[in-house]
Amino acid sequence: MTKTDYDAIVVGSGPNGLAAAIRLQQAGLSVLLLEGNETIGGGLRSKELTLPGFVHDVCSAIHPMAAGSPYMSTLPLHEHGLEFIYPEVAAAHPFDNGTAAVLKKSLEETAQLLGSDKDTYLNLMQPIVRDWPKLAPDVLGPLPIPKYPIAMAGFGLKALPPSTFLAKRFRTMEARGLWGGMAAHNIQPLNNLATSAIGLVLMAVGHLRGWPVPKGGSQQIANAMASYFVSLGGKIETNYYVKSLKQLPSAKAVLFDVTPKQLLEIAGYRFSSIYKWQLNRYRYGMGVFKIDWALDGPIPFTAPECRSAGTVHIGNTFEEIATTEQQSANGQHPDKPFVLLAQQSLFDATRAPAGKHVAWAYCHVPNGSTLDRTEIIEKQVERFAPGFRDLIIGRSTMNTSQIEAYNPNYIGGDINGGIIDVQQLYTRPVISLSPYRTSAKGIYICSSSTPPGGGVHGMCGFHAANRALKDVFKISGKKR
């Protein structure tokens, strides 16, 4: 590549790298986005992993946070080919007795289906759903000075306790199980402080926006963001794997959509000893073992609600989920792990040939585990959908080492860019009033290793770009 001067360079084209590049370009800068892979997207890629004509999401699949992101939702991505499809049931949670709890867009309908826990659910969620639009910019960012302190305090009192504490509010198996599946998105033990936050946010966004499937695959989110970026004048280069700052053209600011481990390898020699020490102490969480299936028909869940759901949380009772998540965090491999499953082709006919289907699932495993969990996951699905295994006509699996090889940001299979426990909720990757700024002038980190952490929302990139705009370019406020 011919070296050319740019105002800013963004390394890595995951959702945060794309969001950062767009924000910088919106401010009128000249921006170069570099991607080491042959295709953009990071965790937003789709491929025919099993059989021809079966389109699978390689990493992320269902996108409530993309639809509800305070930044991404403002971008005209629909003008660049992105179409979201909203399943009638955002998420279903089956039980061994053949029934299921569900999260629907209607708060009242969801509560009504929880029986004697109806009022408890409404009392818990109504204030959060009401306040979320104004709270979201502060919650999904660095440690905030809240614009709405009373509403933020109300949210914090519910979000900071462990999920196990909040579960005590519910009496029914249905409400407790539904909550357990939501809380398990934390990928950490449910008795950890602040594990209630992610579950509450996912449910609130579900009631406000739903849990959508991008038509054609998750790759379409990345493609739309890239198309918009280029339409603003941005430039993208793929197959450009950055291992050192010396590989880069000159620029006033460089933003890295990488985790602390890669950042140290690329630019560590430029950092202060204290900053390097903090990055080296950064902690990664549990990994995942992932399966994609090509199926001869839809998954035959016993509970009919599961057959209308984009996402299915497989784990039975709250107590079972809490136990197996703790076991996985302790380095064990439980026989009945919590399984997060998506069935995109029920709603998106572009994903599979006529009459056929795809499904996507993973379970949590110890970081770096290479144990094959195929049989265990399929037994869990079969447990709630007898006859499932008879429908499998193709399969693709990835253990933690294969996931990291595919995307170096997934250290040990950790898809969140580092554990999001109370110690690293707002102090990721280091303790700093500005977590996106490194100790080296003009170098920033914009990955999910910064607040607010994992998820396809682009907010890490958005905040990092705003930090660089203010520091380097003396630009603040609205985009030009």
Whole-angstrom distance, CA of residue 148 vs CA of residue 473? 29
pLDDT averages per 10-residue partition of the chain, 480 residues: 78 98 98 97 97 98 96 97 97 98 98 98 98 96 89 96 98 98 98 97 97 98 98 98 96 98 97 97 98 98 98 98 98 98 98 98 98 98 98 98 96 97 92 95 98 97 98 77
CATH 3.90.660 in the chain, residue ranges = 84-212+286-406
Report which of 298, 324, 281, 235 is spatially closest to residue 32, judged by C-alpha positions. Answer: 235
- What is residue 38's DSSP assignment? S
With contact defined as beta carbons under 8 Å apart, do 365 and 333 qualify? yes
Host H or E run for residue 67: helix 64-68
Cα-based distances in Å from 448 to 15, 37, 365, 396: 9, 19, 20, 26
Percentages (nearest 5) of helix, strand, coil residues in the chain: 40, 15, 45
Report which of 242, 250, 263, 283 is spatially closest to residue 440, judged by C-alpha positions. Answer: 263
Q: Phi and psi for 170 in degrees, rounded to 5?
A: -95, 145
Residue 319 is predicted with a pLDDT of 98
For CA atoms 185, 186, 187, 190, the dihedral sign is negative
- Tally the C-alpha atoms within 13 A of residue 402's C-alpha that lie toward its C-beta: 13
Specify the pairing of strand 251-256 against strand 443-445. parallel
Whole-angstrom distance, CA of residue 20 vs CA of residue 17? 5
Name beta bridge partners: 101: 93
Q: In the CATH hierarchy, which fold is given to the domain comprising 6-36+240-282+417-472? A: FAD/NAD(P)-binding domain (3.50.50)
Specify the pairing of strand 6-11 against strand 251-256. parallel
With contact defined as beta carbons under 8 Å apart, do 415 and 401 qualify? no
CATH 3.50.50.60 in the chain, residue ranges = 6-36+240-282+417-472
Beta-carbon contacts of residue 277 (< 8 Å; ≥ 6 apart): none
Residue 426 is predicted with a pLDDT of 86
Report which of 1, 66, 99 is spatially closest to residue 457, judged by C-alpha positions. Answer: 66
Q: Tokens standing for 412?
A: 């040990």
Tokens 């094959």, residue located:
372
Tokens 């996106």, residue located:
436
Cα-based distances in Å from 193 to 166, 188, 282, 424, 432: 11, 10, 18, 11, 21
Q: Tokens standing for 88?
A: 């009638």
Whole-angstrom distance, CA of residue 19 vs CA of residue 11? 12
Is residue 221 helix, strand or coil? helix
Residue 2 is predicted with a pLDDT of 47
Q: Tokens standing for 260?
A: 């602390």
Q: For domain 84-212+286-406, is the CATH number 3.90.660?
A: yes
> Most distant CA pair in the chain: distance in Å?
67
Contacts 24+ apart (CB under 8 A), 451-454: 451/140, 451/141, 451/142, 451/143, 451/425, 451/426, 452/139, 452/140, 452/141, 453/416, 453/417, 453/418, 453/420, 453/425, 453/428, 454/415, 454/416, 454/417, 454/420
Q: How many CB atoms lie within 10 A of CB 397?
A: 16
Distance from the Cα of residue 263 to its chain's centroid: 21
Q: Tokens standing for 149?
A: 């302190």
